[in-house]
Chains A and B, each alone.
Chain A
Amino acid sequence: MNIYAKLAYTILGFLIVLNWGFLMGATMRKIGARMAGRHGIPFKQPWINLFKSISTRTVITHGIMYYIGPVFRLTGGIGLFLFMPMVFTGSPDGPWTNFSFEGDLILIMYFNVFGMLGMALGAGEGGHPYAAMGITRGLAQHAAVELPLTLAFLSIAIQFDTFSIYKIVEAQQGGIMHWVLFTNPFAAAAIILAMLGALGHSPFNLVKAPNEILIGPATEYEGTYLGFMMSAGATLHVMEAVLFMNLVFGGATSWLELIVKSFLIYFWSVFVGMVFPRFKIEQSVTWFFKVPLLLGVLAVIIFMF
Chain B
Amino acid sequence: MSELDLNNKTSEMLANSEANVKNSKKNFTRPEDEKREVVAPDGSIIEVNPLYDYFSNEKPKEEKPRGGVVEKFLNWARAESIWVLGFGTGCGSIEIPPLVTPRFDMFRYGVQMRPTPRQSNAFIISGYLSVKTLKRVIRTYEQMPSPKYILALGSCTINGGMYYDSYSTINRLDKYIPVDVYIAGCMPRPEALLHGFVKLKQLIKEGKAEKANEYARNFDEYKANQKKIIKDWNMPDYNW
Contacts and interface: CB of A to CB of B under 8 A. Distances in A.
A219 B116 CA distance: 6
Contacts of B240: 60
Contacts of A59: 145
A52 B63 contact: no
Contact of A48 (B80, B116, B118): B80
Nearest to B65: A57
A41 B108 contact: yes
Given A33-B107, A41-B108, A57-B63, A211 B119 contact: no
Given A56-B147, A221-B119, A41 B78 contact: no
Contact of A45 (B60, B74, B81, B119): B81
B63 A220 contact: no
B121 interface: yes
Contact of A39 (B78, B107, B119): B107
Interface residues of B, number: 28
B105 A39 contact: yes
Contacts of A94: none
B17 interface: no
Contacts of A58: 60, 63, 145-146
Nearest to A37: B102
Contacts of A33: 105, 107
A177 B177 CA distance: 65
Interface string B68-85: 000001100110110100
Interface string A51-65: 110011111100000
A145 to B, nearest CB: 24
B26 to A, nearest CB: 32
A222 interface: yes
B53 to A, nearest CB: 14
B145 A45 contact: no
Contacts of A210: 115
A40 interface: yes
Contacts of B147: 56-57
Interface string B33-72: 0000000000000000000000000001001000000000
B110 interface: yes
Contacts of B74: 51-52, 55
A221 B110 contact: no
A55 B105 contact: no
Interface in A173-226: 210-211, 214-215, 218-223, 226
A41 B119 contact: no
Interface in A23-78: 29, 33, 36-42, 44-45, 48-49, 51-52, 55-60
Contacts of B60: 58
A39 to B, nearest CB: 4
Contact of B108 (A39, A48, A51): A39
A189 B63 CA distance: 54
Contact of B146 (A42, A48, A57, A218): A57
A40 B77 contact: no
Contacts of B63: 57-58
Contacts of A41: 107-108, 110, 112
Contact of B118 (A29, A39, A220): A220
A52 B120 CA distance: 11
A48 B83 CA distance: 12
Residue of A29, A60, A222 with most chain B CB atoms under a 10 A cut-off:
A222
Given A36-B102, A40-B108, A58-B63, A49 B81 contact: yes
Contacts of A52: 74, 77-78, 80-81, 121
Contacts of B110: 41-42, 45, 48
A108 B105 CA distance: 40
A212 B107 CA distance: 22
Nearest to A57: B63
Contacts of A49: 81, 83
B115 A56 contact: no
Contacts of B121: 52, 56
A41 B81 CA distance: 10
A59 B115 CA distance: 18
8 contacts: A38-B100, A40-B108, A48-B77, A52-B74, A55-B78, A211-B86, A222-B119, A223-B145
- Shortest Cβ-Cβ A-B pairs, 7 listed: A57-B63, A37-B102, A222-B118, A51-B77, A214-B115, A56-B145, A52-B81
Given A38-B105, A226-B118, 10 more contacts: A40-B107, A42-B80, A49-B81, A49-B83, A51-B73, A52-B74, A56-B145, A59-B145, A218-B119, A223-B145
